[in-house]
Structure 1
């Protein structure tokens, strides 16, 4: 891991006046995404693993499924990582070829898996029962990948750590014998092995430990085409924050992978599925200050949004750096930034922010991943619009919802 260098990020950060203009043009609350930052992150991964001859980056689209973002990564040459049939269909609509889409579900119905199979995408299976049923139905006619649980504790907290022994994800590394027995009986063809240990992983040693486990498992399969290490790279959320050293990982894991391929006797493809790493820092959430409220112990900045639009601070206790776009040079004061939902609804406690006045626009950084896609209509509020900044221009990529959107699927009864 290494300390963050936000000076690079600052060079890519949109001009404050531009963001102010975008907020005025489209209104708030508003999600804004910087396409060039996404491209920069994608290029970093390519550069970090330049020593690997066969490398495939698949954008984990659950982080942000806006169709225009999918198209942007498709144009860069990325593949797509999906977890639902709807994400698969969005990927196909964005122009991805079926063979460039990986589908790794968890706990879905056999009906959905069969529908995805008909679409021709790559399927990863993480359940012995599902593996057996799939093998009985399709045998060797449809190659699959298997998600292994390496029993590694990785991730920023328990809600985003998915590779430990009590996780619902993956087939245990200690069940390899059972996996092989199912394959021998059904004739299944396994083309890839996959793992994902969690998000916000600080240390490259976690990936290297996982690599050793996955390489050991791979020795049990004779006809692999790829090994998929998922993702989980940590991005910085504030000055001095630690982040995954992607270049150090590329150097060390690239060497391990090359050595394994030499031992295996075949050049495999190294696959990664980054989501947050690619889009988190590209996103800015803009909210207007409705009121500044002083109590006996605190000063609250109340904005025109809530956890219906940005749930990560309430759900994961996630940190989003907050800036005052309207008064960037004002004196620093302490604020609790809160939303308008009628229950505890806090974005940040005791934050030092340039002095805030009513009608100021606040900017929440790192809003590109798991923000809009986790939004809701709680309290019957409309979900925000989305705007993409591309080559210096702003483009509306999702309209703000209206009252009719709230009623679109309602069926009225007669009383």
Structure 2
């Protein structure tokens, strides 16, 4: 079934919006999470180390559950994904002045973390589907001699992981995965976040696990986990309120690692605790909605939707597409008109977007000539598709996109 193609006046022409929903509205916390959070607040137990044991700690229990979900030995809760990545860079030995390979297309929090570590980001080109280019990674690793790769799956876009891992092994790179946008995303049935030595997840409000703020550090490496607990802010013998740590390691490292006060707190863990089990349900909604929207708009002459590689099993909580055949002014007009119609969007390479590397003026690499990345973000539209959206909502979104593009085309003639 195709989207209805009614002739109507847009808001800009004096018509009325047909959108009565907010495509960007964040997921509510499940009632069970609200109840746990209220119970913790009423008891005054909000600091993760207040409970008498790990079994009584919401944060420790959430960490344990998430590690089991991911199939890894360890998870450590932090106050943000940025903190998890900063801790990861410290653990793998990044020093001031070291070069760290990372995506040219990602959110500015990623290069900011490298700057926080006083290291130097080396930006790797993106491909048409907005994932890291393995060939440019190989080139940059050869040129710089960098030994750490902090790779982001921005908006859930996954590179050729076989090719990436070949480069990682060739150069002896330490891979840290930024999985803020890659929950429940797989390559050949293997979860992202488990390819490198460390995976980092976000629980900021727009993410698959949502608590306003927060992060999760995962690893199979016992010493990495021990150091992460200490960097996050465990002191004395509070590490005993974590699951599955090596006591001998903790005793040895306890006073050797600085604490950066980046802990997750109990109210955050309370909100997150019931959300792991709903990930599969949310993913199915996202995938169904993405596939429906794709079917309705992919053959429009002004739209190009790059498809993920066949090995990828994506989460699909957003859709990105390239506007083709439009000028800069027309593309910007498209964004303005979509907002007027009630469907806010953005273009990654326009209007000082925080995902445009040219705006990262705090790093020298913002001046790099990264022509592939520029071409791939210049007209790339970003559409949020939160799981409350119905299939009827998706059909309306498709109609509005087509109506606005029709209007822009008519104005050009």
Could you tell me the TM-score, scaled by structure 2's length?
A: 0.28
Answer 1 or 2: higher relative contact order, Cα 8 Å, separation at least 6: 2
Identify, as 1 or 2, the structure richer in strand: 1
Could you tell me the TM-score, scaled by structure 1's length?
A: 0.28
